[in-house]
Amino acid sequence: MKVCSKPGCPNLTTSGRCTACRRKADVARGTATQRGYTSRGHRNFRAAVLRRDPICTVCQLAPSTVADHWPDSRRDLLAAGLDPNDPDRGRGLCAKCHSSETARLQPGGWLQK
């Protein structure tokens, strides 16, 4: 067992965040619908990006399965008043590269301000 990775949390866990911190982060993050990922606009964005980028733009080996907002996150695009559903603001990635890129570019996940 080790201490929860959330700064200041003394709870023990087997890896990463403890159950309580993970649950709290999930509630704060909101559902996919609340974040705008189930709208018709986002479905069209995803389809257009994956059609344009059928192969992952990072590893160039695997099929693209994720339409990633790039170079700005969906949150940043919305804050700037830009259309996050414009396919020109996205790129196609495989799931492995999307996870790696998210971890690299957004340390701490969506809760980091």
pLDDT digits (tens, 9 = 90+) for 94-112: 999 998 888 787 755 544 4
Q: Are 49 and 92 in contact (CB under 8 A)?
A: yes
Quote the pLDDT of residue 95: 95
Q: pTM for this structure?
A: 0.67
Give 34 or 10, the one with higher predicted confidence: 10
Per-residue pLDDT of 22-68, as tens digits, reads 888 877 766 767 766 778 888 999 999 999 999 999 999 999 999 99
The helix/strand/coil state of 91 is: strand
Q: Write the CA distances from 95 to 6, 59, 111, integer angstroms.
A: 25, 11, 21
Q: Are 15 and 6 in contact (CB under 8 A)?
A: no
Which residue pairs from 68-76 have beta carbons closer than 8 angstroms and sit at least 24 positions apart in sequence?
68/92, 68/93, 68/98, 68/101, 73/106, 74/35, 74/36, 75/110
Tokens, residue 108: 């701490």
Quote the pLDDT of residue 24: 87
Quote the pLDDT of residue 112: 47
Quote the pLDDT of residue 104: 80
Q: Give the separation between CA 27 and CA 112, rounded to whole angstroms.
A: 14
Quote the pLDDT of residue 110: 47
